[in-house]
Amino acid sequence: MFAAVFLFMFDSPVQIMLVIGVLALLFGAGRLPQLARSLGQSRKAFKEGLREGEEDHSIEPAKIISTSTSNPGELSDAELEAELQKRADARAEH
């Protein structure tokens, strides 16, 4: 898609060659493949991050089981450890 947009920006192949020549002078001919590879890896990482973000939002949050205490801040150490273990297990499953 980018290539199609790039080609419509210039009227003739001479203009495209001129831009490529300027890029080669600025970055050096040996550095251009590294630059292209770096851009490709960045694009891939960005798309993967977007995909992971969408997956995170599509997963239902783990339901928290309410305890018998009236104030949730008053959990015993054993209850707190059990709740933390449940949450860790739920995250490990997803």
Q: Return the percentage of the chain with pLDDT > 90, whole number.
A: 9
Rounded Cα distance between 33 and 51, Å, is 27
Task: Tell me if residue 11 falls in helix, strand or coil.
Answer: coil
Residue 41 has pLDDT above 90, yes or no: yes
Q: Worst-scoring range by mean pLDDT, 5-9, 57-61, 69-73, 88-92?
A: 69-73
Q: Locate the domains of the chain by residue range.
A: 1-58, 61-94
Whether 6 and 17 have beta carbons less than 8 Å apart is answered as no
pTM: 0.37
